[in-house]
């Protein structure tokens, strides 16, 4: 990866199956932080609108893939 490319932050020490997910009163949410080359960071939180952990993991994976594709435009 190019050092000048934005990167997704991971707060957890390992990449467990629930990374970037948290359960807020029964509803799963996604929380990611993008660290940009200019030293700034952008947080993104999304309500996944599901109570199913399996569905939340699928939505998380699709959203992270979409965010990763759009990262160069976030740096602008």
Q: Are 33 and 8 in contact (CB under 8 A)?
A: yes
Distance CA 66, CA 61 (A): 9
pTM surpassing 0.85? no
Do the Cβ atoms of 45 and 30 come closer than 8 Å?
A: yes
Domain boundaries, the chain: 7-74
Q: What is the DSSP letter of 9?
A: -
Q: Which residues contact 60 (CB under 8 A, 6 or more apart)?
A: 20, 21, 30, 48
Kindly state the tokens that stand for 69: 């594709």
User: What is the predicted pLDDT for the residue at 36?
Assistant: 79
pLDDT, tens digit, 9 for 90 and up, residues 25-62: 999 999 988 887 888 888 889 999 999 999 999 999 99
Max Cα–Cα distance, the chain, nearest Å: 39
Q: Given this model, what pLDDT does residue 33 score?
A: 86
């Amino acid at each position: 990866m190019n050092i000048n490319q934005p990167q997704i932050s991971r707060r957890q020490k390992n990449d467990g199956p629930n990374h970037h997910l948290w359960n807020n009163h029964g509803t799963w949410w996604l929380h990611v932080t993008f660290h940009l080359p200019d030293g700034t960071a952008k947080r993104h939180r999304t309500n996944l609108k599901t109570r199913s952990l399996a569905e939340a993991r699928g939505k998380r994976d699709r959203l992270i893939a979409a965010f990763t594709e759009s990262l160069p435009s976030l740096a602008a």
